[in-house]
Structure 1
Amino acid sequence: MDVDIVEADYQNPRHCSDIKYLTNAYAKDEMGGAHPLPQQTLQEMIEGLRGTSNAFTMIAYHKETAVGIANCFVGFSTFEARKLINIHDLAVLLDYRNRGIGELLLQSIQKRARKLKCCKLTLEVRVDNPARQLYERFGFETGDPEMLFMTKEYY
């Protein structure tokens, strides 16, 4: 399959539209919570990304169609005194899954991590998410000791 991975430009109207579309499609998927994002979130998403200096987004295009996304953030590991990249969202549209697009997105992120001399990539994944197999094949592990992702939401 002919797929191009591009780093989104948060000033490019097409990229901005594709980011909102793909992130919302992921939110509507069972693995993303099965609910569309609130309209306010969609309206504020791009400005939020623009205002977050450590954010970057990779978009997968098949021909002219946006089919996959990775929203990422560069962080810092105090234990390693080096940068890390957290993959916050990684999603491929249902009709394009199991074609290697997720792996291409991961490869593009890994390339960026190596360029930045990051110590690691991190992500969170539901235990019942079939994409977990992709992450494990790519080398992600739960850690030793096994790590938990915890959250406390504010509304």
Structure 2
Amino acid sequence: MQKLTIVEADLDDPKHQDAVLAMVNAYARDPMGNGQDLSESVRQALIPGLRRHPTSLIFLAFDGQEPVGIAVCFLGFSTFAARPLLNIHDLAVIPAYRGRGVGRRLLERVEAKGRELGCCKLTLEVREDNHTAQQLYWRVGFKHAASEAGTRTWFLERRLEL
């Protein structure tokens, strides 16, 4: 690895646009993603959609000029804490760079941004079978979300078709 740098993406910068598309597509191709490339329609809509979303925060990891990782985050709000929260929607590192500290560095940058913004917590979802990612999250201090009664929180979805 040359020199790993983590930057907040500027979606008006064509280099950052290309890096975001490349990293999200690499994640989509991965078995922990969808196992297939993004469709052309999603590729065309991704950058404009992220630009329109007012709470998007994206961090890119570069080894020299090569993008090697990404954290796509969105600001939310905790009604129980009356403060913002930062959700890590996607965290991905290309296979050749896994186990080399890239994911940890991305998470550190996300945490620093969350603190800067006064966030009360970071949140994320992880697949039950993604043990490698889970180990990273445990090491940097994430834990299962639980209520005051100690019960786990579930993450559910209902897809909406256009």
Category of TM-score, reference length = shorter chain: over 0.9
Structure 2, unpaired ranges of 5+: none
The residue that corresponds to 1:151 in the other structure is 157
> Runs (4+) of structure 1 moved beyond 6 Å?
none
> Cα distance, 1:142 vs. partner?
1.1
The residue that corresponds to 2:128 in the other structure is 127
Cα separation, 1, equivalents of 2:117 and 2:10:
19
Equivalence map 1:48-127=2 (5 Å):
48-127=49-128
> Cα distance, 1:127 vs. partner?
1.2
Tell me which of 139, 142, 146 is aligned to 1:140: 142
| Deviation string, structure 1 residues 84-111 (Cα, Å, up to 9, x no partner) | 0000000000000000000000000000
Structure 1, unpaired ranges of 5+: none
Cα separation, 1, equivalents of 2:69 and 2:126:
17
- Report the RMSD for the aligned CA atoms in angstroms: 0.8
Matched position secondary structure for 1:45: helix
**Aligned length, in residue pairs:** 155
Cα separation, 2, equivalents of 1:68 and 1:53:
22
Instruction: For 1:143, give the aligned amino acid.
Output: A
| Deviation string, structure 1 residues 13-36 (Cα, Å, up to 9, x no partner) | 010011011001001000012121
Instruction: For 1:152, give the aligned amino acid.
Output: R
Instruction: For 1:103, give the aligned amino acid.
Output: R
Cα separation, 1, equivalents of 2:29 and 2:77:
31
Matched position secondary structure for 1:30: coil
| Deviation string, structure 1 residues 21-66 (Cα, Å, up to 9, x no partner) | 1001001000012121111011000000110110010000001100
> Cα distance, 1:143 vs. partner?
2.3
Cα separation, 1, equivalents of 2:16 and 2:118:
27
Question: What's the TM-score once normalised by structure 1's chain length?
Answer: 0.98
Equivalence map 1:39-50=2 (5 Å):
39-50=40-51
Between stretches 142-151 and 105-114, larger displacement belongs to 142-151
